Amino acid sequence: MRVFIPTTISFLIGIGTTPFIAHFLYKYEMWKPKGGKTALDGTPAEIFNALHEKKEVGTPRLGGVVVWGSVILCALLLSTLAALVPDGFGSLAFISRSQTWVPLAALLAGALVGLLDDLYEVQGRKGLRLRTRLGFVAVTALLCAYWFYSKLGVSSISFPLVATPIELGVLFIPFFILVALFIYAGGVIDGIDGLAGGVFCSIFAAYAGIAFFQNQLDLAALSGAIAGGLLAFLWFNIPPARFYLSETGTMGLTLALVVIAFLTDTLSHGKGVAALPIIALPLVVTVCSNILQMVSKKMFGKKLLRIAPLHHHFEAIGWPAYKVTMRYWIVGAVAAIVGMSLALL
């Protein structure tokens, strides 16, 4: 119940507040004034624009507010109730220094910087530069990694079927940063109605299960609350989407995910980091497809895919958007189950 109740409350808060948030987003036209994107080489992304340019105008961004707003309100509500009625609600408060302060801080920091980027976008500006966003993710990851390394004494990674953790020493810090940057890059999966919400929901549900079986109940409750907020978002994001997750959602979620993965690793005698590429398989595939596309263009002068990342390639070859979304959901759910099992070996 310490996991299911916060999950349910977060979902209900999201469902209850979304009509007001959506009204605000539509009233003030919080969408890009002009649709379309440019490729990394500065040229128009012609295939993407043909598929999505019209959808980007008229559909608000900033939908991630529903997710992280629900989590923050849920955490504050349960903490308040625990303070007022400790006998009845004391066990449900999940804000704790040992387990959830850092992932909550990462979630909120990423969400606020992402919110700034989204606000620039809807004002017709280019938004924060990619290198600025990557720099922020790297600095945030550096602070989190330093906390793990210096405060918690974590400097190793555990792997399934390996008796002792692999000691990284001070290299643990750059490793943490690289993982954070890689997972953040997977946030571009937010490109089709309902896709990112379903994928992220499976991921955080899996880590809720991992943390629960490791007896990290506060961390499990936080992961469950994030999954609950994502379900509320998904209720309004299935085709046709009422709004997009956008940067305020993906940056906060990916940063929180990385911290949670490391908290379920060596520190708790688990394999949370080794399981991350499996649990977050759709994000990994998204990043790898982008990398392979760029390498193919640079080395061989031709594209490997019609358009990267992979989910847009499937659209470009004729798959309906709903088919791409639902098949990603299936793959994501299976990967989450397999990864959760692996993490608990």
Question: Where residue 57 falls among pLDDT bands split at 50, 70, 90?
Answer: confident
For residues 32-60, average pLDDT: 67
Quick one: average pLDDT of 238-256? 94
Phi, psi of 167 (to 5 degrees): -80, 125
pLDDT for res 36: 62
Q: Residue 157: in which H helix or E strand, if any?
A: strand 156-157
State how far the Cα of 192 lies from the Cα of 293, in Å rounded to an integer.
Answer: 20
Residue type, 90: G
The answer to whether 316 and 249 are in contact (CB under 8 A) is: no
* Half-sphere exposure for 312 (CA within 13 Å, toward CB): 23
pLDDT, tens digit, 9 for 90 and up, residues 190-212: 889 999 999 999 999 999 999 99
- pTM of the prediction? 0.94
User: Which of 160-164, 169-173, 270-274, 286-290 has the lowest average pLDDT?
Assistant: 160-164
198 against 90, higher pLDDT: 198
Query: Residue 161: what pLDDT?
Result: 82
Q: Read off the pLDDT band of 79 (50, 70, 90).
A: very high
Q: Quick one: pLDDT band at residue 35, thresholds 50, 70, 90?
A: low
pLDDT band at 49 (very low <50, low <70, confident <90, very high): low
**Amino acid making up residue 151:** K
Contacts of 43 (CB under 8 A, 6+ apart): none
Distance CA 86, CA 258 (A): 32
